[in-house]
Amino acid sequence: MEMVTLNDGVKIPAVGFGVFMIPADGSTYKAVREALAAGYRHIDTATAYFNEEEVGKAVRDSGIPREEIFVTSKLWLSHYGYERAKIGIERTLRKLGLDYIDLYLIHQPYDDVPGAWKAMEEAKAEGKLRSIGVSNMTPKIWNEFVPQFSTMPSVNQVECNPFSQQKELRVLMAQNDVKIECWYPLGHGNAELLNHSTVTELAKKYGKDAGQIILRFEVQEGFITLPKSSNPDRIRSNIDIFDFILTDLEMDSIRALDTGKTSHDPEAPGVGESLLNAFVVED
């Protein structure tokens, strides 16, 4: 597994296993165990996924030393603000059943983000969080909040794939060596992307599937990518991308697929309120 060094010196696996929308009915536990057995060492969850407990149990039951598994979770909107964020951090540690979290993110960029960030900075200083970052920040939102922070985020997790390459955001992030993490790295199963001739021709050339070509592109671009699946075969194939390298011309051909658009607009009016009401998280 290739590793990426964050701007705080923490090393993170370039490919992680996402568990968004995997139910907490035993399915998350099973999927995470499958992922760890397949070689993943980076698991990405969140308070608002409501499956942190199964992620933590799978990590503890895996038999793999804790320090070899990179665990990410995210603070939900209902725990923003300094005092509420301290409660949210402790809640996630309790749900995961872990002594520390490797990466902890501001999940949605609304309301009292600076207060929550301060609590996260303190938790990092206390060793409860190894690294801290943000998610879903556009350049406009980044420039609204981050200048109020005492420390720079290590990552910004955003929608990112060959159709949505976040080029403007990447220029801004590069100024402080902030890494892009990709959610929807395969376009959420976008058939147009997966069946695009640029992708399928490369898949044929390298004896890979379309998803593997896309994930390889993202890793070579320097992204941290987070494919999700509950299918054991797909879980294994999504990490089998380190035995080939795309050429510069092939990388350029995929870069040319960028539309500059995303399916989710964090700046749309009312998004924060809608999300807060959609996911009710108790202490």
Question: In angstroms, rounded to a whole number, what is the distance separating the alpha carbons of residues 257 and 183?
Answer: 18
Query: Could you tell me which residues come within 8 angstroms of residue 248 by beta carbon, excluding any fewer than 6 positions away?
Result: none
Other residues' Cβ atoms within 10 Å of the Cβ of residue 258: 14
- Of the candidates 40, 49, 80, 184, the residue annotated as catalytic is 49
Task: Give the torsion through C-alpha atoms of 201, 191, 173, 241, to 10 deg.
Answer: -50
How many other CB atoms are found less than 10 A from the CB of residue 142? 18
Taking CA atoms, 122 is separated from 22, 131, 193, 207, in Å, by 31, 11, 42, 48
Distance of CA 1 to the CA centre of its chain: 17
> Is residue 271 classed exposed, middle or buried when 0-12, 13-18 and 19+ CB atoms within 10 A define those classes?
middle
The overall longest dimension of the chain from CA atoms, in Å, is: 54
Q: Which two tokens stand for residue 213?
A: 């070509």
3-state secondary structure of 240: coil
Q: How far apart are CA 224 and CA 22, in angstroms?
A: 20
Runs of H (alpha helix) within the chain: 27-38, 52-61, 82-96, 113-125, 139-145, 167-174, 191-194, 197-206, 210-220, 232-237, 248-255, 271-278
Type of residue at 177: D
Q: Is 29 a catalytic residue?
A: no
Q: Which residues are catalytic?
A: 49
